[in-house]
């Protein structure tokens, strides 16, 4: 990571809204070759809130290593305006989201986490045997 920016826009003496929508965006700016045979991909990771309670921006450079055929393919696909490999997006997201959570804690705002699914009542297709005891 090369730059962190976080700002709370909501007054600290006002209670946060009950419903807050959180949007996360990752922009891979470029993918370039380095002299050591690896690739470098600068990125910007942003978190936005609706209503506008805060904003978080994280910039960095992902280092990509692998065999020469894989790195060549990644560069060719980037030059052909294809999206970056999902593994690269996932790696950048995992690293940046951890920092965004720490920043959100410092600002006392909701963390940019996906909602936790509510457990659904399990509907069993098997009938339980009736247990009847007679004495």
Q: Where are the domains of the chain?
A: 3-107
The per-residue b/e assignment along 6-28, b for 16 or more CB within 10 angstroms, e otherwise, is bebebeeeeeeeeeeebebebeb
pTM: 0.80
pLDDT at 107 over 70: yes
- pLDDT, tens only, 52-67: 999 999 999 999 998 8
Instruction: Please state, in angstroms and rounded to a whole number, the distance separating the CA atoms of residues 132 and 135.
Output: 10
CB atoms within 10 A of CB 59: 17
Give the containing element (helix H, strand E) for 103: helix 86-107
Task: Check: CB of residue 31 under 8 Å from CB of residue 75.
Answer: yes
Task: Check: CB of residue 1 under 8 Å from CB of residue 62.
Answer: no
């Amino acid at each position: 990571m090369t730059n962190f920016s976080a700002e709370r826009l909501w007054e600290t003496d006002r209670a946060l809204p009950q419903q807050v929508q959180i949007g996360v965006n990752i922009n891979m700016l470029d993918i370039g070759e380095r002299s050591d045979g690896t690739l470098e991909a600068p990125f910007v990771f942003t978190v936005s809130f609706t209503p506008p309670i805060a904003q978080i921006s994280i910039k960095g450079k992902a280092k990509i290593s692998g065999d020469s055929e894989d790195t060549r393919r990644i560069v060719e696909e980037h030059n052909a305006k294809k999206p970056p490999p999902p593994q690269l997006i996932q790696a950048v997201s995992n690293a940046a989201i951890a920092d965004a959570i720490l920043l959100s804690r410092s600002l006392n705002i909701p963390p940019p986490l996906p909602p936790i699914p509510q457990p659904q009542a399990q509907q069993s297709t098997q009938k339980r045997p009736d247990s009847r005891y007679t004495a």
